[in-house]
Amino acid sequence: MSSCLDSDDDNRVEYDYSSDAQITSLVLSSREDTLKVLSKVEFSINQVASAPLIFNKDSLPYLFEVKNAKMTVTTNRASGIKLHLISPDSPDSTYIWNTNDSVLINRLKHIEVYAADGVTTKLYTFQLNTHQQDPNLILWQNVVNNYIDTPTDQVTVANANKFYTYYNTGTSIDLATSSIEDGEMWTNETLTGLPQGVVLKSIQVDTLEESEKWYAMDGDGRVYISENGVGWSHQQTDLPVRSIYGKMPSYSQDSVLAIVKDGEVYKFAKTIDFSSMNVLNEIPAGFPVDDFAFTTVKDPRIYTAKYLVVTSGKSIDGMANSDVWIMQENDQKITFTSKALNFNVVGASMFRYDNKIYLLTSDGDKNVFYTSNNYGMFWEKADSKQQLPIEFLYRENPSVNVDDKNNIWIFGGVSSNKNQLVEIWKGRINKLFVK
């Protein structure tokens, strides 16, 4: 289209008007938005000619809803914008928008842009995405029961590929494995090298770049190592080992934290593979050495956030521990902060999940979760969205593993009448769903 600004043909000047009908940005805000999130939404604009689309990649909160919104649309001097609205109880409607009036955003279906030339148009589909499921809800399923013979004790450990359930039948230590993608079909393995007196809860795996190291201890302080979790051998140590706590994050090289008996004194010690021990300072009074729950914290966002968090269990004197201990290595010494907890931790299990520390423990006759988002110093009970199902029987000392798809796996445990439970439960918080 051209425009003539002078009637004199010799002096006539023609102007070409743009045929660009693209939207380059869109911003929304609303007084109805009590959460104050709509104005922060970033909209993506797909300019593909066959199906132009405007949408928000990051969905708005579950149940978010506003009717009227202020909409700011940026174009290349478009001559007009038509809005197409969905009308549930009547035919859809359209109108030319004056760019100032509020928009019924909950009914907006298309935004049609008229270029400056008055001829070219572009019809965008508009999508305001919201979470269709409560992102903080955990859904649970009972995966399988009775997948091993009823044991006198059991523990389940996971590496990147498999679950390993070690269990004591009363006469032998046996092993069953399952793919971490499955959890229903189990294979009995020929386990060698672990004695009848092995402390099952001490069995752990340390996944390295090119291999993995497994380690365990027995009740007499002897250590056993393995490269695959199936074939084990005794590892001679410098001193008797009293407890093994797993990986201790460090500013240099991460190592396994253990407690050893040095003469008549129990001390912390670091080791890579138990072939040599770096003995450190004496353990504090009241620190748990049996039946404890622990997890490792190594926050990549904060360089100094390198902790081993421990709770539950019993001290060297057999006294129950109800504190949480936040351990850190400083100058070849294990330092700590401890704090009394105001909820039960007997028989608890601890694990990292959703950038928090989770503690599966009991409250009365049921199991509950407590969470901490500051490395274990402060805790709060998880709300009803994360409660376990009614069918989940009360238990203590279950094994908890988290896979790379953010599933929480709960194995076994001891019932209220002290019987071993042989069952597997799996759950995942909606916001961490991975396809």
Work out the average pLDDT over 259-284: 95
**Residue 8 covered by a domain:** no
**Residue 3 covered by a domain:** no
Separation of alpha carbons 39 and 25, rounded Å: 13
Separation of alpha carbons 418 and 435, rounded Å: 39
For residues 265 and 383, membership in a common domain is answered with yes
For residues 87 and 162, membership in a common domain is answered with no
Tell which wins on pLDDT, 255 or 425: 425
What's the pLDDT score for residue 299?
86
**Residue 203 covered by a domain:** yes
**Residue 204 covered by a domain:** yes
CB-facing half-sphere around the CA of 189: CA atoms within 13 A: 20
pLDDT band at 114 (very low <50, low <70, confident <90, very high): very high
Is residue 231 predicted with pLDDT exceeding 50? Answer: yes
For residues 179 and 308, membership in a common domain is answered with yes
Amino acid sitting at position 203: I
Work out the average pLDDT over 59-82: 94
Q: Is 292 exposed, middle or buried (0-12, 13-18, 19+ CB in 10 A)?
A: buried
Are residues 75 and 21 in contact, defined by beta-carbon separation less than 8 angstroms?
yes
CATH number, domain with residue 406: 2.120.10.80
For residues 145 and 123, membership in a common domain is answered with no
| Percent over 90 (pLDDT), the chain | 83
CATH number, domain with residue 88: 2.60.40
User: Which residues of 223-330 form beta strands (DSSP E)?
Assistant: 223-226, 232-235, 241-248, 255-262, 265-271, 278-282, 288-298, 306-315, 323-329
What's the pLDDT score for residue 12?
57
Are residues 312 and 348 in contact, defined by beta-carbon separation less than 8 angstroms?
yes
Work out the average pLDDT over 287-304: 93
Is residue 31 predicted with pLDDT exceeding 90? Answer: yes
For residues 278 and 423, membership in a common domain is answered with yes
10's CB contacts (< 8 A; 6+ apart) are: none
What's the pLDDT score for residue 252?
77
| Percent over 70 (pLDDT), the chain | 95
pLDDT band at 434 (very low <50, low <70, confident <90, very high): low
Structure tokens given for 424 = 């597997």
For residues 143 and 100, membership in a common domain is answered with no
Separation of alpha carbons 426 and 141, rounded Å: 5
**Residue 133 covered by a domain:** no
Structure tokens given for 38 = 């709509």
For residues 343 and 311, membership in a common domain is answered with yes
What's the pLDDT score for residue 332?
86
Residues, the chain: 435
Is residue 6 predicted with pLDDT exceeding 60? Answer: no
Is residue 10 predicted with pLDDT exceeding 60? Answer: no
Are residues 371 and 380 in contact, defined by beta-carbon separation less than 8 angstroms?
yes
Helix, strand, or coil here: 82?
strand
Separation of alpha carbons 226 and 155, rounded Å: 16
pLDDT band at 5 (very low <50, low <70, confident <90, very high): very low
For residues 279 and 396, membership in a common domain is answered with yes
For residues 307 and 346, membership in a common domain is answered with yes
For residues 36 and 80, membership in a common domain is answered with yes
Of 240-244, 297-301, 341-345, which range is least confident? 297-301
What's the pLDDT score for residue 208?
66
Are residues 165 and 174 in contact, defined by beta-carbon separation less than 8 angstroms?
no
Are residues 341 and 372 in contact, defined by beta-carbon separation less than 8 angstroms?
no
Tell which wins on pLDDT, 209 or 24: 24
Separation of alpha carbons 285 and 163, rounded Å: 35
Is residue 41 predicted with pLDDT exceeding 70? Answer: yes
**Residue 261 covered by a domain:** yes
What's the pLDDT score for residue 173?
98
For residues 154 and 224, membership in a common domain is answered with yes
Task: Please identify, among 68, 95, 127, the residue that sits at the C-terminal boundary of a domain.
Answer: 127
What's the pLDDT score for residue 315?
98
What's the pLDDT score for residue 133?
85
Question: pTM to 2 decimals?
Answer: 0.81
**Tell me: the pLDDT tens digits for 156-215?**
999 999 999 999 999 999 999 999 999 999 999 999 999 999 999 999 998 765 678 999
Task: Please identify, among 73, 99, 127, the residue that sits at the C-terminal boundary of a domain.
Answer: 127
Domain that holds residue 375: 138-432
Is residue 379 predicted with pLDDT exceeding 90? Answer: yes
For residues 216 and 148, membership in a common domain is answered with yes
Helix, strand, or coil here: 277?
coil
**Residue 179 covered by a domain:** yes
Separation of alpha carbons 21 and 71, rounded Å: 17
pLDDT band at 424 (very low <50, low <70, confident <90, very high): very high
Separation of alpha carbons 183 and 255, rounded Å: 30
Tell me the pLDDT of the chain averaged across its residues: 93
Is residue 16 predicted with pLDDT exceeding 90? Answer: no
Work out the average pLDDT over 128-149: 93
Task: Please identify, among 69, 95, 127, the residue that sits at the C-terminal boundary of a domain.
Answer: 127
The structural domain count of the chain equals 2
**Residue 362 covered by a domain:** yes
Structure tokens given for 362 = 């009991």
What's the pLDDT score for residue 265?
97
